[in-house]
């Protein structure tokens, strides 16, 4: 007989993973809301009079505020109660979604996206720092980060199907009203669901630098940190811009698909992604983060080429399924690699810089790929993104190496005392 009992086991599990569970559920609601706008935003902007280039600017506007807020968010994480920050940030997203829902013209979508980006940057950065607090020292970080990724992809991936159906049935504005409701629900859950014992104010940045034996500059300029930031940049530049701009427009204008069919294809990509995460979630724990990052980068280039070559619904869906498989293990591996090379006391700073570089891709991707699409066609935009994936993956391989666990080559280790 189990001397602890089922109730005791549940208490132990919640004591160990309560913060992880609460933060993931908060993010799932935000991701579901963001996901329902994925097949809708460029079409909504077009219905308000925006062309493909301007629609790309609207899609990418969220990256501007995300980039501007990432660094302050990392600083706030060392100064302000993190539970308070996690609780209040979804309110910014709710206000932004409501503003987009009532927009009289495409011009109001820009400030709405900027406010949405600020809220998402705040909640994402603080959440990742909170999760690092939760998994510090655990040998199953890869599995935990995969579960975190699966939960987020599930929310974000179910969204396109729901958003496409809502748009076809009730119109584009209804999608944003639902988004506002989900963001409000995320606020309520975070406010009452995150354990009150969690404050998460470990030390100041100055204390972290003192423990590191110097300034943070050498860590920020280290090749290992630079290449993982470049990989994240390519991910946001290529994958996010393609998912939120190029692929929906390709489906509608080239293949003649409805919003619901585009949403279905994107949702199937997420189903494939979740299956991959389930069966390969501990791959990073078994073989290390570096080979997984390399494989994911090269396969991501391949799925973008697959989209560019699709000429009917069947090949569009096949490309989506391949996309889900390719990206199913890359995100957790990048996060674990960053933890591998980061001193724990500098992790909030390094994470905020990492997210700033990544979100710069969110700005440039939709804008530049939108310009390429207008000048040379949608397929060439996907080829450009695939080329970027290949180049940064090769750079990561040169700096970090290939096989084995841990941070990689001696040159890639930033310091002792990693997370």
Classify residue 140: in a domain, yes or no.
yes
Classify residue 8: in a domain, yes or no.
no
- Host domain of residue 324: 16-198+211-412
What DSSP designation does 243 have? I
Q: What is the mean pLDDT of the chain?
A: 79
Classify residue 244: in a domain, yes or no.
yes
Once rounded to an integer, what is the mean pLDDT over residues 115-144?
78
Once rounded to an integer, what is the mean pLDDT over residues 97-105?
91
Write down the pLDDT at residue 106: 85
Q: Can you list the alpha helix ranges (DSSP code H) found in 37-140?
A: 41-47, 52-77, 82-101, 109-135
pLDDT band of residue 1 (cuts 50, 70, 90) is: very low
By mean pLDDT, which of 59-68, 183-192, 337-346, 402-411 is the weakest?
A: 402-411
Once rounded to an integer, what is the mean pLDDT over residues 91-101?
94
Once rounded to an integer, what is the mean pLDDT over residues 154-176?
85
Once rounded to an integer, what is the mean pLDDT over residues 15-29?
77
Give the integer Cα–Cα distance in Å for 14 and 134. 12
CB 156 within 8 A of CB 28: no
The structure tokens listed for 268 are 């199937």
CATH of the domain at 284: 1.20.1250.20
Give the integer Cα–Cα distance in Å for 397 and 393. 6
Give the integer Cα–Cα distance in Å for 233 and 88. 27
Q: Can you list the alpha helix ranges (DSSP code H) found in 194-329?
A: 205-212, 217-220, 223-234, 241, 247-249, 259-280, 283-287, 289-309, 313-326
Classify residue 5: in a domain, yes or no.
no
Q: In terms of pLDDT, which residue wins out, 306 or 229?
A: 229
pLDDT band of residue 230 (cuts 50, 70, 90) is: very high
* pLDDT beyond 80 at 10: no
Structural domain total, the chain: 1
Classify residue 102: in a domain, yes or no.
yes
* pLDDT beyond 60 at 276: yes
Buried-state track 2-18, b at ≥16 Cβ within 10 A, e below 16: eeeeeeeeeeeeeeeeb
By mean pLDDT, which of 32-41, 179-188, 201-210, 309-318 is the weakest?
A: 201-210
Write down the pLDDT at residue 281: 63
* pLDDT beyond 90 at 393: yes
* Residue-wise pLDDT tens digits, 188-213: 888 887 777 666 555 544 454 454 44
* Residue-wise pLDDT tens digits, 132-149: 766 655 566 666 777 777
Write down the pLDDT at residue 215: 63
Once rounded to an integer, what is the mean pLDDT over residues 166-178?
91
What DSSP designation does 139 have? T
Write down the pLDDT at residue 320: 83
What DSSP designation does 410 have? G
Percent of the chain with pLDDT over 90: 17
* pLDDT beyond 50 at 216: yes
Answer positive or negative: Cα dihedral of 47, 50, 52, 56.
Answer: negative
State the helix-helix crossing angle for 82-101 and 172-193, rounded to 10 degrees. 170
Classify residue 417: in a domain, yes or no.
no
Q: What is the DSSP annotation of 303-372?
A: HHHHHHH--SHHHHHHHHHHHHHHTTTHHHHHHHHHHHHSBGGGHHHHHHHHHHHHHHHHHHHHHHHHHH
Write down the pLDDT at residue 402: 65
Write down the pLDDT at residue 346: 82
Give the integer Cα–Cα distance in Å for 309 and 303. 10
* pLDDT beyond 80 at 18: no
Write down the pLDDT at residue 250: 80
By mean pLDDT, which of 234-238, 247-251, 324-328, 367-371 is the weakest?
A: 324-328
Classify residue 11: in a domain, yes or no.
no
Write down the pLDDT at residue 3: 47
Q: How many CB atoms lie within 10 A of CB 153?
A: 24
Give the integer Cα–Cα distance in Å for 330 and 232. 10
* Residue-wise pLDDT tens digits, 49-92: 887 778 877 877 887 888 899 889 888 887 888 888 888 899 99
pLDDT band of residue 150 (cuts 50, 70, 90) is: confident
* pLDDT beyond 60 at 406: no
* pLDDT beyond 60 at 8: no
Q: In terms of pLDDT, which residue wins out, 190 or 5?
A: 190
Classify residue 365: in a domain, yes or no.
yes
Give the integer Cα–Cα distance in Å for 158 and 162. 7
């Amino acid at each position: 007989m189990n001397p602890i009992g089922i109730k005791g086991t549940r208490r132990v599990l919640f004591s160990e993973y309560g913060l992880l569970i609460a933060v993931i559920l908060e993010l799932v609601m935000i991701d579901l809301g963001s996901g329902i706008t994925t097949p809708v935003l460029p079409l909504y902007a077009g219905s308000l009079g925006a062309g493909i280039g301007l629609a790309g600017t609207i899609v990418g506007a969220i990256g501007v505020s995300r980039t501007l807020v990432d660094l302050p968010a990392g600083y706030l994480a060392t100064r302000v109660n993190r539970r308070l920050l996690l609780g209040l940030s979804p309110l910014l997203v709710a206000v932004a979604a409501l503003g987009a829902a009532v927009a009289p013209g495409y011009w109001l979508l820009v400030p709405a996206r900027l406010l949405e980006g600020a809220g998402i940057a705040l909640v994402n950065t603080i959440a990742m720092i909170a999760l690092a607090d939760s998994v510090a020292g655990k040998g199953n970080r890869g599995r935990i980060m995969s579960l975190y990724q699966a939960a987020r992809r599930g929310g974000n991936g179910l969204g396109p199907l729901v958003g496409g159906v809502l748009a076809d049935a009730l119109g584009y504005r209804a999608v944003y009203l639902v988004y506002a409701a989900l963001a409000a629900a995320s606020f309520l859950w975070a406010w009452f669901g995150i354990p009150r014992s969690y404050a998460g104010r470990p030390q100041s940045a100055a204390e972290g630098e003192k423990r590191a034996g110097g300034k943070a500059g050498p860590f920020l300029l280290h090749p290992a940190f630079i290449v993982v930031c470049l990989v994240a940049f390519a991910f946001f530049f290529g994958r996010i811009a393609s998912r939120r701009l190029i692929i929906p427009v390709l489906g509608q204008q080239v293949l003649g698909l409805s919003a619901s069919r585009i949403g279905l294809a994107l949702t199937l990509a997420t189903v494939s992604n979740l299956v991959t995460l389930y069966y390969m979630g501990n791959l990073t724990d078994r073989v290390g983060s570096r080979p997984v990052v390399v494989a994911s980068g090269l396969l991501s280039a391949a799925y973008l080429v697959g989209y560019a070559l699709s000429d009917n619904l069947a090949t569009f869906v096949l490309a989506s399924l391949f996309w889900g498989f390719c990206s199913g293990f890359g995100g957790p591996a990048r996060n674990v690699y960053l933890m591998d090379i980061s001193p724990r006391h500098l992790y909030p700073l390094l994470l905020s810089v990492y997210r700033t570089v990544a979100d710069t891709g969110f700005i440039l991707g939709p804008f530049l790929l939108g310009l390429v699409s207008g000048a040379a066609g949608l397929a060439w935009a996907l080829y450009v993104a695939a080329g970027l994936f290949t180049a940064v993956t090769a750079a990561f391989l040169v700096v970090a190496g290939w096989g084995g666990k841990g941070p990689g080559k001696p040159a890639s280790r930033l310091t002792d005392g990693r997370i």
